Structure 1
Amino acid sequence: MTKQILSASIHQMPLSALKAWDANPRMNMDGDETQQMKASLLASGLLQNFIAAPCPSGEGHVVIAGARRLAAAQALIADGAVSADSLVNVAVRDIDLNDPEALKIALTENTVRSQMDAIDECIAMAELAQRGENIESIAAAFGLGTQTVKQRLALGRLVPEAQEMVRNKTRDLDWAKGMSMADQATQTRIVTDIAGNPNAWKDGNTIRRFLTQDTIPATNALFEMSAYQGRVIYDMFGSDQLADRDEFWALQNEQIDILKADLEAQGYQEVSISHQPVDTWRFQRTDKPEDSIAIIEVMPNGRVTQHTGLVKTDDLPTVENAPEVSDEIETVEIASDGVRVTPAIAEYAAAHRTAMVQNAMAGSFRTALEVMTAGLIGHSEIAVRAHDYRYPGSPEVRTAKVFDEVTQLRDDVNEELLSGGAVGAGAGRDPQIMALVKSLPDTDLQSLFTRLTALKIGQAQPKTLDGNPDSLMNDLGTALAVEVRAHWTPDETFFALMQPADMRRLIAALLPLDRQAGVASAKKKALARMLTDAFADAAENDGSMAAADAQRLNTWVPGVMRFPAVDETVEGEQVEADTSAFDALFGADGSDADQDTGQDAGEDADADAGSEVADEAA
């Protein structure tokens, strides 16, 4: 027996004659959806009829399908944007509202209608844009905000292969968002990689990390973006990234100087610039500049925060630096792919290895408990102290992502302490501190204890290489199974700390021959860039080098960065270098092509002697 399709007569009636149905199955009316629907109604009118039944009272009609459209229309009437007398098409069903058939109609309206495929919608928007439609008109047509349209236009411009991968669910929308940051050539390389290796480029975060390595979020700029002329990596789903670090810091430092002068003019007792996170909860507060200090906190990722009205409550101890190490480099045997230990390299390794251990330890309560207990017993490298570990050397060289993670860890702890009332140090704040600690559930107390302990440990002698396998950092790095290359990739900042001769040796040992052209006459910056580009290409796995060459670069960890650290220049421990290939290219030690003269030689010497970047350069 066949069932007849219910028919309805179409009538035009004023909006004022329509009422919402209190039994509508769509109970949750999302505010954003209502706003989008309002925009759509204003731009295109009512594109689909209401379905209504006569009101039992005999006055007007009750809408059983089209609840969102009616809510949006009524909101427009309340806004004064639409007249209550506006006529709309209504499909009138002669049905009792208590009849189950009415509920079926409403359910069908809410469940059977299928949303357009996400990628198809993005492509449709891109086509409208190509035909001359502006962002505002597209937004109105789809009932969306302009920012949402911009994001979907970015997805609509992905290469077809990438769009198809999202459509067939080989990759998700988050992956597509990451892809939208890349130019089309890079998109094509990525989808080609995936075709050869389905496990490559699995998620959007992998793509974002690759595209934004060594960049700075544009949101951290104090200056007007019109002043910045460097390369920008645009991200419609997050913060744009600035790729020219030198230009960023030149502009940023100008603004920091202006900010410092402005704070000084306000009459603060002291205005200082800190390149370490400021533990604001250790200070009391006042709104009187003459009774307080101001600190401008400048982070390696470019973020600047001004802390004003701080009143010192305690003189915090400082980490005593180890004795200065001579910057003179001895002529010693060294592995062909080893890194010579200089004071700058030692400080670099101390800071980066410490950050890796802190980040790993922050998630291990057992390790934190072991460390603090060992300190109470008397471990010489564990001082039970109030202040956090201070990294050695210049903040400018701390380019690894792990430092952003540790900064976030510090911010989370500070925010937690502030919100809990522990806003100062010293006897005057003791009751608040104890009240906070006592109020925490066991799991929260363990988490806070773990993170606080992690932030307070670090390499004891930051100016020397930590080669003692029994040292705290090496013990923890081994126990926590820290994977160095998961947190750190050799970059131009790292290579710039090396001597030109050492970079040439690394190039000969690590890079394929086709990437060694011109190395004999290249100066320091060019050598650092050659190594940086090779490591970046290997990480990208873009097919520009043989798989074996890429694997060698992607797994290379110099001795200075290992757990325990290894001094590859120590006589008797170094790997014998195969110097034949190096000598063939550059000559023996006595005739090394690194005998630079004139201005370039002077530049190299200056760069080597002052390999730390000045703190004021952030």
Structure 2
Amino acid sequence: MDELEEYEAFAKLLKQGRSVADIARTFGQSERYVKQRLALASLQSAIKDAYRNGDIEAEELQLLASATRRQQKEWVAAFAAEKDPTIDEGAPRGRELRQWLFGSNQIAISVARFPLDTYKGDVITDLFGDFSYFADVDAFWVLQNAAIAGLRDELAGQGWTVTVLDKGTRFPAWQYDEAELEEGGEAFIEVRTNGEVEVHRGYRAYDSPHAAGENSRDGDGKRKTPAAKPELTKAAENYLALHRHAIVRAELLAHPAIALRLAAVHMIAGSALWSVKPDPQRAEKETTAESLAASPAQAALTTERDAVLDLLQIGNSYYGTLTRGNGDGHTGAVLFARLLALPDEEVLRVIALAMAETLAAGSALTEAAGLVIQPDVKRWWKLDDAFLDLLKDRTAINALVAEVAGQATADGNVTETGKVQKTIIRDCLTGEGRERVEGFVPRYMAFPPSHYDPNKAFEIARASEKINALFTSI
């Protein structure tokens, strides 16, 4: 007899008052076998006909016996639609039928790592299979995950570094070498989508410090501690960094004294956003460099720099300045801590030096600062041979002669060479054979500067003219 014939025979005996156990003994079968055949009573007649006609196999007949009334109805409709040539898909069969009925996430009772009495959901028993499975998958995973966490903690208590792999991720054993716990071996917990849990103990990545042979030991021969794995992803770190940044910025608005000190730190140490470096003071001529080095203004800056470096307890940078501009965060934090301990007056002193060092030569801001400060130029500078040697324009040279020696002298030497006229200027400044002129400041060095021949270009003066009006009332 086939499955349906057996079912009909067993059903008749059941109606006659025979028990399942009695029927099983009569036919020499197990009670489960008899129950499997009797379960076919729930099948719709269309499904039975499909089996008798050879359209479905015995396994599919048994699977459909586990289906709900709604599922049987849907399957019968899909089966009937197969007669329509325009329909590409028919009723599911074989493995697809099992997945259609039970879903792809059926989880067997046997894989549970928790006491089954803690599960309060339904359990589905497959009469035609060899296992029962959890009806409430979500409830299963709550309990299974708790058990996995306990397993993780247990392994960690034994000294293992434990990694719980993402559900469904297979352990890539080919990327690891076997290693004992003392040799840096780790434990990995693999969790499959069907609920199975497997522990892989004693594996070490090929590129780990322990696997690097002698490179994994320090100078004393002791094994190096492996680098810690990141706790957060880069995206998570980025999230925290942005929100922490926003909070500190908002609070900083109410703490200008702290902002002042942070500004000083950024000027001195720089950052990823502040590209601050001292002006290189590049001289095109060696004589210019020598003249600058001998300048009282340069000497004053050097003296103040030494004092501020001592105040901040740091050495000068590789530029030879307070400003280092390398963006070293640790150096910046150290400076910030020291500036917090200083009064505002000293902090402003530090900022003044940093600003002086980083003010760009030949810039509009240098000219603007000069217009506001109106420095006593003759205190810091005097016309020297280095500049006189650089003067080439005869009109300008003759105009300088007029300013230091008088117009008559200038007119009387207007046809002389530039060299001769420069000698007159030197003699006036030194008092060699002429009346000495003290504190002479040519138009070039005034604030604002100007030139001696309006028909010729003087870039510094032209740049200054663009901003002079902004500061005339200050």
Q: What TM-score do you get using the length of structure 2 for normalisation? A: 0.37
- Higher RCO (Cα < 8 Å, 6 or more apart): 1
- The answer to which structure has the higher helix fraction is 2
Which one has a bigger Cα radius of gyration? 2
The TM-score normalised by the length of structure 1 is 0.29
